[in-house]
């Protein structure tokens, strides 16, 4: 394959630029085009870089080919450099970690450059100290105030924000709130004697009764969905249920219930609504739990991604949301909280501040009690309904890094500031553009699918196009084809990832231009035509040999 280029006409109205601080060169977003040399991408130097990496870092989720990026060179919007003169279109965006604007948004980049001259080496045990910063540097409390204000505008009520190191720790801290809340409710409901009876029936004992009242475990259930991904620390990893390799061979926390992310779900199959006191008095608590049901009074929290990521970029349909809303309405009076995992969906990727807002508008029961953030926020954090923290004891959770990462705090704060503005190249707000540009992209994917089917009948290369805002996906025929698309896309200068068993996900920036959407569709079309013809040829050979 020769050098690949997109060669779309420049958008001269797009004034967004990136001036490289190392070289002084200026790049115009509106005139950039993908240009890659496949011999570079998988050649000797690429193999050497990948080999050096592999010598020191164990394998994680990287593809089977050396996808090398160099964001110190040309990096603006969805464009990012490889080595030499290779320029990619990045539809992965660090699996959503590279802010909602992609790379080096001009109104954010300059502010960070200035702060980097004095803050780059500073890390403190963030939640243990107070900050008062000069020179326009935002403080952690300023970011928390902005986030809580947005949450209150979205859902009403009052919120507070705890910072963490990453999305998985944000989830862990939110779960701690739910579990400690449930602990206090159950203690009040049962009293000390019956609480001890409950623990005796479940084989839970006091660890050091001569010193304190610490128990060896606490039987409070967490509910999560099949297909979910909530992180890789212990509790979060237990709740994740998307890929076997993420879980096989690892211990899981007990008292977890996984339920289908499906409109056919019957919550009564997973919950026993008998009063907890009755189960204890009749000595049936162990029997219920062994039957893989959760006693309703012991369910602490249901955690949900508003749009499932690794599960296949799945959008919950109305029937699922109706059942979920009824269930939450039934369980909330019994002390169950709703946790919204916004690590991928949050910060306007769906066109709303949080992904759950898209469903809350029609189903008010789906007001989250806690919401976890990270990735585009550049620090981890959890928004918590203030009513849950009225008498929260100090030291129940903390963070010795995230809130002290003041450049991360600044990145988050400046991102939220910019999201209130209007990009001159777009003429509409960023949230509105995320919705509008997402609709345009999905329509173009569907048109492409129709063109490919007309050209190669029966191949069904693109199906089930779906998405919301700039979180979009479609299905391909099978897992092997999904892998081939990822690899061939890379050779065409497109960073793209599969999700679920046979889906392709497209992470877009909230400021995606039509030119960039057209470029993305053009590359995908070139990739699919090449692979589709190879697939058709292979099928003909198989039929002929049979």
Could you tell me the fold of the domain covering 4-107+432-545?
3.90.1150
Phi, psi of 491 (to 5 degrees): -70, -20
Beta bridge partners of 382: 162, 372
CA distances from 74 to 26, 39, 70, 97 (A): 9, 20, 8, 18
Of 372, 366, 237, nearest in space to 310 by CA: 237
Contacts of 475 (CB under 8 A, 6+ apart): 462, 463, 464, 502, 503, 504
The mean pLDDT value for 104-123 works out to: 84
- pLDDT, residue 124, reads 63
- pLDDT, residue 405, reads 83
- pLDDT, residue 130, reads 85
- pLDDT, residue 437, reads 97
Split at pLDDT 50, 70, 90, the class of 116 is: confident
In percent, the amount of the chain with pLDDT more than 90 equals 79
Contact 492, 526 (CB under 8 A): yes
- pLDDT, residue 546, reads 54
Phi, psi of 223 (to 5 degrees): -105, 135
Local structure of 368: helix, strand or coil: coil
- pLDDT, residue 92, reads 93
Beta bridge partners of 295: 272
Q: What is the pTM (predicted TM-score) of this model?
A: 0.94
User: Around Cβ 131, how many Cβ atoms within 10 Å?
Assistant: 16
DSSP code for 215: B
In the numeric block, the tokens 């709740």 are attached to: 239
The mean pLDDT value for 497-517 works out to: 94
Q: 5 — alpha (psi -120 to 50), left (phi > 0) or beta?
A: beta
Contacts of 446 (CB under 8 A, 6+ apart): 462, 465
Q: Render pLDDT for 295-311 as a digit per residue (tens, 0 to 9).
A: 999 999 999 999 998 87
Listed range (118-122, 245-249, 254-258, 373-377) with the worst mean pLDDT: 118-122
- pLDDT, residue 543, reads 52
Per DSSP, which regions of 389-477 are E strands? Answer: 463-468, 471-475
Q: With 90 as the cut, is the pLDDT of residue 242 above it?
A: no
- pLDDT, residue 59, reads 82
Contact 17, 534 (CB under 8 A): no
Tokens standing for residue 240: 């994740």
Q: Render pLDDT for 1-10 as a digit per residue (tens, 0 to 9).
A: 689 999 999 9
Q: Render pLDDT for 431-470 as a digit per residue (tens, 0 to 9).
A: 999 999 999 999 999 999 999 999 999 999 999 999 999 9
Contact 425, 122 (CB under 8 A): no
- pLDDT, residue 505, reads 94
- pLDDT, residue 178, reads 97
Local structure of 218: helix, strand or coil: coil
Phi, psi of 264 (to 5 degrees): -85, 0
More confident residue, 220 or 399: 220
Quote the CA–CA distance of 308 and 144 in Å, as a whole number: 26
Q: What is the mean pLDDT of the chain?
A: 93
Quote the CA–CA distance of 216 and 220 in Å, as a whole number: 13
Quote the CA–CA distance of 279 and 266 in Å, as a whole number: 22
Contact 215, 206 (CB under 8 A): yes
Q: With 90 as the cut, is the pLDDT of residue 30 above it?
A: yes
- pLDDT, residue 542, reads 59
Buried b (16+ CB within 10 A) or exposed e, 315-326: bbeeebbebbbe
Phi, psi of 305 (to 5 degrees): -85, 125
More confident residue, 237 or 546: 237
Q: Where are the domains of the chain?
A: 4-107+432-545, 175-340+356-363
Listed range (99-108, 325-334, 337-346) with the worst mean pLDDT: 99-108
In percent, the amount of the chain with pLDDT more than 70 equals 96
The secondary element (H helix, E strand) that includes residue 41 is helix 38-41
């Amino acid at each position: 394959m020769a050098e690949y280029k997109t060669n779309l006409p420049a958008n001269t109205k797009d004034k967004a630029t990136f001036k490289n601080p190392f070289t002084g060169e200026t790049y115009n977003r509106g005139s950039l085009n993908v240009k890659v040399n496949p011999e570079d991408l998988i050649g000797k130097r690429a193999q050497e870089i990948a080999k050096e990496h592999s010598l020191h870092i164990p394998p994680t989720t990287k593809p089977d080919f050396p996808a090398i990026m160099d964001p110190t060179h040309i990096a603006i919007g969805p464009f990012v450099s490889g080595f030499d003169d290779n320029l990619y279109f990045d539809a992965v965006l660090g699996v959503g970690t590279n802010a909602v604007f992609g790379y080096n948004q001009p109104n954010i980049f300059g502010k960070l450059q200035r702060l980097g001259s004095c803050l780059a080496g500073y890390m403190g045990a963030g939640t243990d100290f107070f900050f008062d910063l000069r020179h326009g540097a935002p403080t952690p409390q300023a970011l928390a105030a902005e986030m809580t204000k947005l949450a209150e505008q979205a859902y009403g009520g009052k919120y507070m924000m705890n910072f963490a190191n990453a999305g998985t720790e944000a989830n862990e801290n939110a779960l701690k709130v739910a579990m400690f809340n449930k602990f206090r409710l159950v203690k009040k409901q049962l009293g000390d004697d019956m609480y001890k009876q409950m623990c005796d029936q479940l084989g839970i004992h006091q660890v050091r009764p001569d010193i304190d009242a610490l128990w060896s475990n606490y039987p409070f259930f967490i509910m999560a969905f099949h297909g979910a991904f909530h992180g890789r620390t212990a509790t979060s990893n237990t709740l994740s249920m998307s890929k076997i390799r993420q879980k096989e061979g690892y211990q899981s926390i007990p008292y977890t219930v996984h339920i289908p992310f499906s409109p056919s779900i019957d919550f009564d199959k997973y919950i026993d609504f008998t009063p907890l006191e009755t189960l204890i008095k009749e000595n049936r608590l162990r029997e219920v739990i062994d039957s893989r049901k959760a006693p309703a009074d012991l369910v602490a929290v249901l955690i949900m991604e508003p749009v499932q990521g690794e599960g296949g970029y799945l959008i919950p349909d109305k029937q699922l949301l109706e059942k979920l809303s009824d269930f939450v309405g039934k369980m909330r009076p019994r002390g169950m909280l709703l946790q919204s995992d916004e690590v991928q969906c949050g910060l306007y990727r769906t066109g709303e501040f949080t992904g759950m807002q898209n469903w809350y508008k029609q189903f008010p029961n789906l007001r989250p009690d806690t919401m976890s953030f990270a990735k585009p926020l550049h620090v981890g954090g959890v928004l918590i309904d203030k009513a849950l923290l009225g008498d929260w004891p100090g030291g129940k959770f903390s963070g010795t890094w995230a809130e002290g990462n003041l450049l991360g705090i600044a990145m988050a704060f400046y991102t939220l500031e910019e999201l209130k503005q209007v990009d001159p190249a777009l003429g509409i707000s960023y949230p509105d553009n995320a919705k509008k540009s997402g609709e345009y992209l999905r329509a173009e994917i569907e048109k492409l699918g129709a063109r490919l089917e007309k050209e190669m009948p029966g191949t069904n290369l693109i199906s089930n196009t779906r998405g919301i805002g700039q979180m979009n996906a479609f299905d391909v025929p099978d897992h092997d084809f999904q892998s081939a698309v990822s690899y061939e896309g890379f050779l065409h200068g497109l960073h793209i990832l599969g999700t679920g068993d046979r889906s392709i996900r497209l992470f877009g920036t909230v400021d995606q231009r039509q030119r960039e959407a057209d470029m993305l569709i053009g590359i995908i079309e070139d990739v699919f035509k090449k692979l589709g013809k190879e697939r058709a040829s292979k099928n003909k050979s198989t039929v002929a040999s049979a």
